[in-house]
Amino acid sequence: MTYTFRQILLPPTKYPIKAPYIMFPQFITVHNTANDAPAANEIAYMLSNNNQVSYHVAVDDKEVIQAIPFNRNAWHCGDGGGSTDPNALTKGNRLSIGVEICYSKSGGACYVAAEENAVQYIAKLLKQYGWGVDRVKKHQDWNGKYCPHRILSEERWNSFLNRIEEAMKPKETEKDDDKMQFTNETTKAAVRDYIKQAVDKKLIEKSWLDKFDNGTMTTGDYEGLKLIIAQRENNKK
Protein backbone atom coordinates (compact mmCIF):
# COMPACT_ATOMS: atom_id res chain seq x y z
CA MET A 1 0.00 0.00 0.00
CA THR A 2 1.29 3.39 -0.95
CA TYR A 3 -0.99 5.61 1.12
CA THR A 4 -1.93 5.94 4.77
CA PHE A 5 -5.56 6.18 5.79
CA ARG A 6 -7.00 8.39 8.51
CA GLN A 7 -10.27 9.96 9.50
CA ILE A 8 -10.91 13.60 10.37
CA LEU A 9 -14.64 13.40 10.85
CA LEU A 10 -17.26 16.05 10.36
CA PRO A 11 -18.75 16.89 13.76
CA PRO A 12 -22.35 15.60 13.94
CA THR A 13 -23.47 19.16 14.78
CA LYS A 14 -22.71 19.92 11.12
CA TYR A 15 -24.65 16.96 9.72
CA PRO A 16 -27.69 19.21 9.02
CA ILE A 17 -25.55 21.31 6.64
CA LYS A 18 -23.16 18.80 5.11
CA ALA A 19 -24.57 15.29 5.56
CA PRO A 20 -28.25 15.47 6.45
CA TYR A 21 -29.47 12.10 5.20
CA ILE A 22 -28.82 8.50 6.11
CA MET A 23 -27.37 6.84 3.01
CA PHE A 24 -27.06 3.28 1.75
CA PRO A 25 -24.30 3.91 -0.77
CA GLN A 26 -24.64 2.38 -4.23
CA PHE A 27 -21.95 4.24 -6.17
CA ILE A 28 -18.60 5.93 -5.89
CA THR A 29 -18.29 9.36 -7.54
CA VAL A 30 -14.87 10.53 -8.67
CA HIS A 31 -13.86 14.19 -8.60
CA ASN A 32 -10.78 16.28 -9.25
CA THR A 33 -10.35 19.15 -6.78
CA ALA A 34 -9.28 21.63 -9.51
CA ASN A 35 -6.89 22.93 -6.86
CA ASP A 36 -3.29 22.38 -5.79
CA ALA A 37 -3.77 21.72 -2.06
CA PRO A 38 -3.05 18.49 -0.18
CA ALA A 39 -5.89 16.34 1.20
CA ALA A 40 -5.51 17.64 4.77
CA ASN A 41 -6.08 21.24 3.60
CA GLU A 42 -9.01 20.31 1.38
CA ILE A 43 -10.67 18.46 4.27
CA ALA A 44 -9.91 21.23 6.79
CA TYR A 45 -11.51 23.77 4.46
CA MET A 46 -14.56 21.60 3.81
CA LEU A 47 -15.09 20.96 7.53
CA SER A 48 -14.63 24.60 8.56
CA ASN A 49 -17.02 26.37 6.19
CA ASN A 50 -20.80 26.34 6.41
CA ASN A 51 -21.58 25.76 2.74
CA GLN A 52 -23.70 22.89 1.54
CA VAL A 53 -20.65 21.44 -0.14
CA SER A 54 -19.20 18.20 1.13
CA TYR A 55 -17.70 14.88 0.12
CA HIS A 56 -16.58 11.77 1.92
CA VAL A 57 -12.92 11.31 1.08
CA ALA A 58 -9.94 13.28 -0.21
CA VAL A 59 -6.89 11.52 -1.66
CA ASP A 60 -3.45 12.97 -2.27
CA ASP A 61 -0.01 11.55 -3.03
CA LYS A 62 0.49 10.40 0.59
CA GLU A 63 -2.82 9.81 2.28
CA VAL A 64 -6.51 9.09 2.09
CA ILE A 65 -8.59 11.12 4.53
CA GLN A 66 -12.21 10.31 5.26
CA ALA A 67 -14.36 13.15 6.61
CA ILE A 68 -17.90 11.80 6.36
CA PRO A 69 -19.10 8.30 7.30
CA PHE A 70 -20.33 6.29 4.32
CA ASN A 71 -23.77 5.92 5.90
CA ARG A 72 -24.39 9.68 5.56
CA ASN A 73 -24.92 11.52 2.28
CA ALA A 74 -22.77 14.42 1.08
CA TRP A 75 -23.25 17.30 -1.37
CA HIS A 76 -20.78 16.81 -4.22
CA CYS A 77 -22.70 15.88 -7.36
CA GLY A 78 -24.63 19.05 -8.16
CA ASP A 79 -27.83 17.05 -8.61
CA GLY A 80 -29.64 18.71 -5.73
CA GLY A 81 -31.72 17.04 -3.05
CA GLY A 82 -32.04 14.32 -5.62
CA SER A 83 -33.57 10.95 -5.12
CA THR A 84 -32.82 7.61 -3.58
CA ASP A 85 -34.78 5.86 -6.32
CA PRO A 86 -32.26 3.59 -8.06
CA ASN A 87 -33.93 4.45 -11.40
CA ALA A 88 -33.77 8.20 -10.95
CA LEU A 89 -31.02 10.13 -12.71
CA THR A 90 -30.48 12.57 -9.84
CA LYS A 91 -29.16 10.24 -7.20
CA GLY A 92 -25.47 11.14 -6.94
CA ASN A 93 -25.90 13.28 -3.84
CA ARG A 94 -28.05 10.64 -2.15
CA LEU A 95 -26.46 7.35 -3.11
CA SER A 96 -22.79 7.93 -3.80
CA ILE A 97 -19.55 8.10 -1.88
CA GLY A 98 -17.65 11.21 -3.05
CA VAL A 99 -13.91 10.85 -3.64
CA GLU A 100 -11.85 13.98 -4.40
CA ILE A 101 -8.47 13.51 -6.06
CA CYS A 102 -6.11 16.34 -5.04
CA TYR A 103 -3.54 18.39 -7.00
CA SER A 104 -5.48 18.19 -10.26
CA LYS A 105 -5.17 21.88 -11.17
CA SER A 106 -1.49 21.81 -12.14
CA GLY A 107 -1.03 18.06 -12.40
CA GLY A 108 2.50 16.70 -12.26
CA ALA A 109 4.04 14.05 -10.03
CA CYS A 110 1.92 14.78 -6.95
CA TYR A 111 -1.24 14.46 -9.01
CA VAL A 112 -0.09 11.24 -10.68
CA ALA A 113 0.61 9.72 -7.26
CA ALA A 114 -2.71 10.97 -5.86
CA GLU A 115 -4.60 9.45 -8.78
CA GLU A 116 -2.86 6.12 -8.31
CA ASN A 117 -3.74 6.17 -4.61
CA ALA A 118 -7.35 6.83 -5.58
CA VAL A 119 -7.25 3.83 -7.94
CA GLN A 120 -6.01 1.59 -5.12
CA TYR A 121 -8.40 2.98 -2.53
CA ILE A 122 -11.46 2.79 -4.80
CA ALA A 123 -10.54 -0.81 -5.70
CA LYS A 124 -10.45 -1.62 -2.01
CA LEU A 125 -13.84 0.01 -1.39
CA LEU A 126 -15.42 -1.86 -4.31
CA LYS A 127 -14.16 -5.15 -2.93
CA GLN A 128 -15.46 -4.27 0.52
CA TYR A 129 -18.93 -3.59 -0.83
CA GLY A 130 -18.91 -6.51 -3.26
CA TRP A 131 -19.28 -4.14 -6.21
CA GLY A 132 -17.90 -4.12 -9.73
CA VAL A 133 -16.24 -1.19 -11.47
CA ASP A 134 -19.64 -0.27 -12.98
CA ARG A 135 -20.37 1.40 -9.62
CA VAL A 136 -17.69 4.02 -10.26
CA LYS A 137 -19.13 7.23 -11.73
CA LYS A 138 -17.78 10.56 -12.86
CA HIS A 139 -19.20 13.70 -11.30
CA GLN A 140 -20.10 14.52 -14.92
CA ASP A 141 -22.49 11.55 -15.04
CA TRP A 142 -24.79 13.20 -12.49
CA ASN A 143 -25.07 16.82 -13.58
CA GLY A 144 -22.86 17.29 -16.63
CA LYS A 145 -20.12 19.21 -14.79
CA TYR A 146 -16.70 18.77 -16.41
CA CYS A 147 -15.28 16.79 -13.48
CA PRO A 148 -12.93 14.98 -12.86
CA HIS A 149 -11.48 17.61 -15.22
CA ARG A 150 -7.94 16.26 -15.55
CA ILE A 151 -8.97 12.67 -16.20
CA LEU A 152 -11.52 13.91 -18.76
CA SER A 153 -9.23 16.38 -20.54
CA GLU A 154 -6.53 13.73 -20.82
CA GLU A 155 -9.15 11.29 -22.12
CA ARG A 156 -8.31 8.70 -19.51
CA TRP A 157 -11.68 7.81 -17.93
CA ASN A 158 -11.76 4.31 -19.44
CA SER A 159 -8.16 3.63 -18.57
CA PHE A 160 -8.82 4.93 -15.06
CA LEU A 161 -11.61 2.33 -14.70
CA ASN A 162 -9.37 -0.38 -16.16
CA ARG A 163 -6.69 0.42 -13.60
CA ILE A 164 -9.24 0.05 -10.80
CA GLU A 165 -10.37 -3.28 -12.21
CA GLU A 166 -6.77 -4.42 -12.40
CA ALA A 167 -6.14 -3.32 -8.80
CA MET A 168 -9.11 -5.40 -7.65
CA LYS A 169 -7.56 -8.64 -8.83
CA PRO A 170 -5.99 -10.61 -6.00
CA LYS A 171 -2.22 -10.57 -6.08
CA GLU A 172 -0.63 -13.95 -6.86
CA THR A 173 0.80 -14.16 -3.34
CA GLU A 174 -2.48 -13.57 -1.53
CA LYS A 175 -4.54 -15.80 -3.79
CA ASP A 176 -4.54 -18.90 -1.65
CA ASP A 177 -3.23 -18.12 1.81
CA ASP A 178 -5.97 -15.65 2.53
CA LYS A 179 -8.94 -17.84 1.54
CA MET A 180 -11.38 -18.53 4.35
CA GLN A 181 -10.62 -21.83 6.02
CA PHE A 182 -13.03 -23.84 8.12
CA THR A 183 -12.15 -26.44 10.71
CA ASN A 184 -15.46 -28.24 10.21
CA GLU A 185 -18.67 -28.25 8.17
CA THR A 186 -20.81 -26.94 11.06
CA THR A 187 -18.82 -23.71 11.28
CA LYS A 188 -18.91 -23.38 7.52
CA ALA A 189 -22.69 -23.87 7.44
CA ALA A 190 -23.14 -21.29 10.20
CA VAL A 191 -21.13 -18.68 8.32
CA ARG A 192 -23.04 -19.44 5.12
CA ASP A 193 -26.31 -19.07 7.00
CA TYR A 194 -25.21 -15.72 8.44
CA ILE A 195 -24.36 -14.44 4.95
CA LYS A 196 -27.56 -15.82 3.42
CA GLN A 197 -29.71 -14.15 6.07
CA ALA A 198 -28.03 -10.81 5.37
CA VAL A 199 -28.73 -11.31 1.64
CA ASP A 200 -32.37 -12.22 2.38
CA LYS A 201 -32.72 -9.08 4.50
CA LYS A 202 -31.24 -7.13 1.54
CA LEU A 203 -28.39 -5.86 3.71
CA ILE A 204 -25.80 -7.07 1.21
CA GLU A 205 -25.69 -8.12 -2.44
CA LYS A 206 -26.25 -11.73 -3.43
CA SER A 207 -22.81 -11.73 -5.08
CA TRP A 208 -21.36 -12.23 -1.59
CA LEU A 209 -23.15 -15.55 -1.18
CA ASP A 210 -21.92 -16.62 -4.63
CA LYS A 211 -18.41 -15.65 -3.61
CA PHE A 212 -18.71 -17.72 -0.46
CA ASP A 213 -20.11 -20.68 -2.39
CA ASN A 214 -17.40 -20.66 -5.03
CA GLY A 215 -14.73 -20.51 -2.33
CA THR A 216 -13.15 -17.19 -3.28
CA MET A 217 -14.11 -15.26 -0.15
CA THR A 218 -11.05 -14.19 1.83
CA THR A 219 -10.84 -13.58 5.55
CA GLY A 220 -10.39 -9.88 4.72
CA ASP A 221 -13.61 -9.93 2.65
CA TYR A 222 -15.45 -11.55 5.51
CA GLU A 223 -14.21 -9.07 8.11
CA GLY A 224 -15.30 -6.17 5.89
CA LEU A 225 -18.62 -7.86 5.21
CA LYS A 226 -19.37 -8.25 8.91
CA LEU A 227 -18.78 -4.51 9.39
CA ILE A 228 -21.13 -3.63 6.53
CA ILE A 229 -23.84 -5.96 7.83
CA ALA A 230 -23.56 -4.55 11.36
CA GLN A 231 -23.68 -0.98 10.08
CA ARG A 232 -26.70 -1.59 7.88
CA GLU A 233 -28.54 -3.49 10.59
CA ASN A 234 -27.97 -0.50 12.85
CA ASN A 235 -29.33 1.87 10.23
CA LYS A 236 -32.51 -0.18 9.97
CA LYS A 237 -33.26 0.23 13.68
Site residues, Zn ion (CB under 5 A): 31, 139, 147
Nearer of residues 70 and 142 to Zn ion, judged by Cβ: 142
Closer Cβ to Zn ion, 36 or 178, answer by number: 36
Cα–Cα distance measured from residue 108 to residue 116, given in angstroms and rounded to the nearest whole number: 12
From the CB of 35, what's the least distance to Zn ion, in Å? 11
Give the DSSP letter of residue 101: E
Q: Are 29 and 56 in contact, with CB atoms under 8 Å apart?
A: no
Q: 3-state DSSP helix/strand/coil percent for the chain, to nearest 5?
A: 45, 15, 40
CB-nearer residue toward Zn ion: 123 or 147: 147
How near is the Cβ of 13 to Zn ion at its closest, in Å?
26
Least distance from C-beta 25 to Zn ion, angstroms? 17
Q: Which is nearer to Zn ion, 31 or 137 (CB)?
A: 31
Return the closest-CA partner of residue 39 out of 17, 13, 65, 16: 65
User: Distance (Å, rounded) from C-alpha 193 to C-alpha 198?
Assistant: 9
Smallest gap from Cβ 88 to Zn ion, in A, equals 19
Q: Quickly count helices (H) and strands (E) in the chain.
A: 11, 6
Q: CB atoms < 10 A from the CB of 234, how many? A: 9
> Are 90 and 75 in contact, with CB atoms under 8 Å apart?
no
Q: Considering the complex, what minimum distance in angstroms separates the CB of residue 77 from Zn ion?
A: 7
82 in Cβ contact with 73 (< 8 Å): no
**Residue placing its CB nearer to Zn ion in the complex, 94 or 139:** 139
